A and B are shown apart, each in its own frame.
Chain A
């Protein structure tokens, strides 16, 4: 949905200081642009649960992080997310790649299609879902609404070949 430069520009526009992430085959294409940006610090983690905790620590320290990961990593990292945004009420924002969504007609076997939306719903986070190209830029408004409200949020971004 985005080139690396497009996403980098949008992250900087909303005031992000650090990107905490695990790349997947879609998100990974953004790495060069993230790395080359002088306005973003890129922190790559080994496993997704770390990402929410690092982001929480960054927020405690006054920074403005975003977490970026695939939905499979989101499944794995639920307890860390729960702890940060519900126990400590830290208003983290995450971009979650929705694996295979745009390939669902031709690749129906990926169980991410079955579990992603119910799991996102289960964590009770205000979520913006961009399931078409036309909706992609709306996440910035959602981010700003969450920041203004001091609440956490997710941008669920469809992945896959349409």
Chain B
């Protein structure tokens, strides 16, 4: 199993010019480190909507790599987004789902996809994505697996779906505000409009 901070550090170190969208636990941990102007921490969120938000951005900026780091609880709230994304098939989008099997910020309650809530074992988000039409899906269990994913995570044309099996965080896992929401959103758009990133419109 992976640790979420290791996953996020890995992405931070290797993302290059990619835009990185995070939410819930990943956004909380991401905001503890250095923040770049191409980061968007989707807090507050409409829980479940990060993949849709990232899809929109990826469609608007087809020449820019977009990495979205979603949670398993969030993914469960909007599984249809997997079909919407595969229908549009943006080559520049990578959707990661960090799977800890629980709703961390609300007190570690298992999701309904967790084996403790089921008679039929764990749910595989990678298999769901595959069934939803994603050509590239993988599940990452270890640091070695993660290192082996660098090509699809940071370079290869997508879309790619990567399920990352992580252990639940301990200690203070309460939500952490990354700052005024509207100001961050408008700053990102201003950044996009101030630099020629290839949007044809």
Contact = CB atoms under 8 A, between A and B. Distances in A.
A46 B188 contact: no
B186 interface: yes
B185 A46 contact: no
A122 interface: no
A89 B182 contact: yes
Contact of A80 (B40, B46, B61, B199): B46
Contacts of B84: 43-46, 50, 54
Interface residues of A, number: 35
Interface in B3-29: none
A57 B182 contact: no
B44 A54 contact: no
Given A45-B84, A46-B80, A62 B193 contact: yes
A90 interface: yes
Interface in B43-98: 44-46, 48-50, 52-61, 78, 80-81, 83-84, 87-88
B75 to A, nearest CB: 13
Contacts of B48: 49
Contacts of B52: 45, 49-51, 53-54, 57, 80
Contacts, number: 120
Contacts of A80: 46, 49, 52
A87 B57 contact: no
A126 interface: no
A49 B48 CA distance: 9
B176 to A, nearest CB: 16
Nearest to A58: B56
16 contacts: A49-B46, A49-B48, A53-B46, A53-B53, A54-B84, A57-B52, A57-B59, A58-B59, A59-B189, A60-B60, A60-B188, A61-B56, A62-B192, A63-B201, A83-B45, A84-B46
Interface of B: 40, 44-46, 48-50, 52-61, 78, 80-81, 83-84, 87-88, 181-182, 184-186, 188-189, 192-193, 197, 199, 201
